Amino acid sequence: MELTVYNNEGNKTSKTVKLDAEVFGIEPNDHAIYLDVKSYLAAQRQGTHKSKERNEISGSTRKIKRQKGTGGARAGSIKNPLFRGGGTVFGPRPHAYDLKVNKKVKRLARRSALSYKAQGNGIMLLDALQMDSVKTSSYVKLLKNLSMDTSKTLVVLPSHDQKVYLSARNLKKHTVRVASDLNTYDIMNCKNLIFVNNAHEIVQEMLKK
């Protein structure tokens, strides 16, 4: 697949780039995408939920009434889960939600997601992206030049650029990632994928291993 490279003004340049078919032109595997996205979303959960159980409740352990003769059920402690203010039975405990996905499956998922984007003409190449200062309006202007200010975009940089990252941080529809941190969820969650400079080459080299 051959694509034309654009500049910051949204105009086509004389450069063209041919994307590797092993990464951008495979038959997508939906199940691999599902597993990788599920693993990514599960890892975002903190897992710090906790409720106090019977042994953690503050209160006396004195037997609150006699065993027999009251006409009610026996009760040994005010911390009984049946009473108001008592402990929780089988309440949530802190734990990790991480799901293991094999490296080969992750690579297949990312290649599948990129292939879907290539099939839908959702990939654009940008020759360079440099910002003199941290300014969100300048970043939005760039997207307007590319006619992508109203749709979800994912800009992939070859290396970390603090000014670009901070300029796009407050924009809900627009995400910035480094090529080495590209994941399946971000690819599938955007409408347009923009590779800056040689970011696509880094991704190709990473996913062909």
The pLDDT value recorded for residue 100 is: 95
CA 100 to chain centre: 16
Cβ-Cβ contacts under 8 Å for 195 (sequence gap 6 or more):
123, 124, 125, 126, 156, 179, 203
Do residues 168 and 194 touch, judged by C-beta distance below 8 A?
Answer: no
- Write down the domain spans for the chain: 2-45+99-207, 49-96
User: The whole model's pTM is what?
Assistant: 0.84
pLDDT reported for residue 209: 65
**pLDDT by residue (tens digit) across 26-80?**
999 999 999 999 999 999 999 999 999 999 999 888 999 999 999 999 998 999 9
Hey, which bits of the chain come out as E strands? 2-6, 12-18, 123-126, 153-157, 174-178, 192-196
Residue 1 has pLDDT above 90, yes or no: no
Output the pLDDT for position 35: 97
CATH code for the structural domain at 2-45+99-207: 3.40.1370.10
